[in-house]
Amino acid sequence: MFRKILIANRGEIACRVMRTAKRMGLQTVAVYSDADARAPHVLMADEAVRLGPAPAAESYLCADLILDAAKATGADCIHPGYGFLSERESFARACEEAGIAFVGPPPAAIAAMGDKIQSKKLAAEAGVNVVPGFLGEIADTEHAVRIAAEIGFPVMMKASAGGGGKGMRLAWNEGDVREGFEAVKREGLASFGDDRVFIEKFIEQPRHIEIQVLGDKHGTVLYLGERECSIQRRHQKVVEEAPSPFVTPDMRKAMGSQAVALAKAVGYHSAGTVELIVSGADPTGESFYFLEMNTRLQVEHPVTEMVIGLDLVEEMIRVAAGENLRLTQEDVRLDGWSIETRVYAEDPYRGFLPSTGRIVRYRPPEGSSGERGTVRVDDGVVEGSEISRFYDPMIAKLVTHAATREAAADLQTQALDRFRIEGIGHNVDFLSALMQHPRFREGALTTGFIAEEYPEGFTGAPADDDLAARLVAVAAVVDFATRQRDAGLTGQLGGPLAIRPERTVSLAGEDHETRVGAESDGRWRVILNGRSLAVASSWRPGEALFDGIVDGQPFAGFLKRRPDALLITTRGATHPLRLGSARLAALRRHMPVKLPPDLSRLLICPMPGLLTQLDVQPGDRVEAGQILGTIEAMKMENNLRAAKPATVLAVHARAGESLPADFVILEFE
């Protein structure tokens, strides 16, 4: 076994690998850029080595610097995590040549599967189902248009070396090919140093299902069940679960057998994932096709760990040390259900725009394990951490495990209600809405789920009558308890304030009459429109989280006071509630509504990023939908389009400038 391990990564995955390494008794070495000098993974490690400036190209992607760090610290193995150098064949080979074990597959397997075009050819030779498409060299846009027409629309254009949702465009017609082909080439070159593109048939009603494989250096390869990863946004996974609600035991065996055959064909060892696209329109389950093989640990590996009862990082380390796998295919059993949601620094209320900045409050839900199930949080941030534009915007992964899919989803919703993040935009509300969505609960998933269910964007999860009643009851209790505390303050002019138990609470335009009675410490009785609701909580005035039992059901929500309302954030939305006397509520109905300013005359930068292209000048006439420029953020290109016909009055930015969110790029007449 090894003595010291260097983790060639950062953030959540670096912390994740270190936890297992420390449990195994290994010493740990972290590497870091200047942006991560005080990051949790650096503080967790036994030793840490600086690599260079913040940009990944000058730090985490510098193989020579990482190998130098391993030699200087005496590390005898390197775990690459995911992303960065994890699927770089040259890095695995350099480790081998330096006499340092690479905790991953052999270089030849990485090379074979890293090229999406070549990997599809190898998959077909190994007897794996492949999607119809064109795997040769595409000369230019016109050639791409002809190929797409021959395959038949819709088609998917993909960067050959792509991954993580980068370098992909869906084309429904010739115009989409002409608009997207060059963008795919640019994204492939910028992110992976390879501008080759391939085109394949797009499977309608597609489900994204992947098979986890694990092999040792002695020829044994196993499949560890499947993961359903169909809920995606811009080809980036948002929710993953194991097992899949669509996959039958026969499908699992067929998919797993093909995945093992492919792994053996390339001499694979360590953990890896064979990704499949499955037609949800085919109830037989026979229409599944090879997409790609990820020759590394996947972000979503915890859901497999939960249902299999295996630490995949530990198995990777043991395989790298030459050990045999400690289980057989017959030993692999699925126990219960696990769901993972990815908590990202992005604002779902503004089209999921990336959010950068400092996290000023960070309180994840506590990890737990009990009769109802398990809650696990994998993260790599703390209060004060900065979400940088240089790296992936993932904050944490929330993983739940329970006996059934419904119970695992319920645990997710309850845990998300207790996830407190302030200082940056985040997608916790959106994740909660997904967990509660009827279609998700039914398991009727496709990769188009988010686009189909939120075509106009996300505005918060709706509150049903039951939740509305509990919100009103909580608001009434919070208001009553706060006024009680205030009445007890000494030195008030005119003596103690009189506390009236009656209050009118306004929610979503409806007024509710309430009366609060304190039954004992931490217990109240709320009469709401004639209905009696019991509220029990240890909450005290001034605390941000109200956590308790309301009307017999668990309730958790974060409170924030505004001059005109009490805001309660729970169940995927922030709900404003206004409280006062019946007289005040009646007068409030006559107050004018303040309308938001008209911003239609402005083109506003939607996110922090680099303005790579600006296509208009003052005096130009533009039409609705016309591309005006391009913003690059997180190595993804985002086209800026005109909302309506207009004439450009003024230009306030130039191509090549880094712009903050909400910067006014153009003004229209």
Burial of 434 (0-12, 13-18, 19+ CB in 10 A): buried
Task: Give the type of residue at 432.
Answer: S
Closest CA to 433 of 413, 405, 456, 457: 413
The sign of the dihedral angle between the CA atoms of 592, 596, 600, 601 is positive
Instruction: For residue 321, give the 3-state DSSP assignment.
Output: coil
Give 573-600 as a DSSP string.
EEEEEEEE-HHHHHHHTTSPPPPPP--T
Say whether 292 is catalytic: yes
DSSP letter for 464, please: -
Segment 240-243 long-range contacts (CB within 8 Å, at least 24 positions apart): 240/299, 240/300, 240/303, 240/339, 240/340, 241/303, 241/337, 241/338, 241/339, 241/340, 241/405, 241/408, 242/303, 242/304, 242/306, 242/307, 242/334, 242/337, 242/338, 243/307, 243/334, 243/337
Strands of 126-188, DSSP E: 133-134, 155-163, 166-171
Catalytic residue among 187, 226, 292, 632: 292
Task: Give the type of residue at 195.
Answer: D
> What are the C-alpha distances in Å from 125 to residues 20, 118, 376, 618?
37, 11, 40, 57
Contact 278, 288 (CB under 8 A): yes
- Residue 530 and residue 526: Cα distance in Å, rounded? 9
Closest CA to 344 of 17, 634, 75: 634
Backbone phi and psi for residue 292, each to the nearest 5 degrees, phi listed first: -170, 165
**CA-based diameter of the chain, in Å?**
89
Closest CA to 565 of 481, 503, 484, 475: 475
Element (H, E) at 338: strand 337-344
Residues annotated as part of the active site? 292
